[in-house]
Amino acid sequence: MTPQWITFSPRGDERGVLVAIESDHDIPFTLKRVYTLTGLLPGGVRGGHAHKRLRQVIVCLAGSCVIDLDDGEQTFSVPLDDPASGLVLEPMIWHEMREFSAGCVLMVLASDHYDEADYIRDRAAFMKCAKTASA
């Protein structure tokens, strides 16, 4: 697993910058859900789970953070700090966001509606599933 990034096309002038994100064009799936994370505490951690089927793109709209990724074999830590880039998060990737700067705002674009049954919230269960999938 190598972290996959999508670069959006910012357009702007002296008045500011506009970054448009279109379903099935800028992101590799049909968009069904958008949510934001705000009020993130500098010492806090979010995420701490994987998804069985859900695909996501995570964009840092303001500030910065670090996201830790684990596919059961490889781990990566990558910074999120550019509103014109999105980190693609495929299924079966354990992820945790941390080191939030003051005012950090994250936006998540998701391929499906919320479904609690799609979550793997136990790290040991995730590792077992990941090993089974790679065998």
SS3 88: strand
Question: Is 49 designated active site?
Answer: yes
The single residue of 25, 49, 95, 113 carrying the catalytic annotation is 49
In sequence order, the 6+-apart residues with CB closer than 8 A to the CB of 2 are 76
Give the separation between CA 120 and CA 49, rounded to whole angstroms.
6
The token pair at 104 is: 């950090």
Residues classed as catalytic: 49
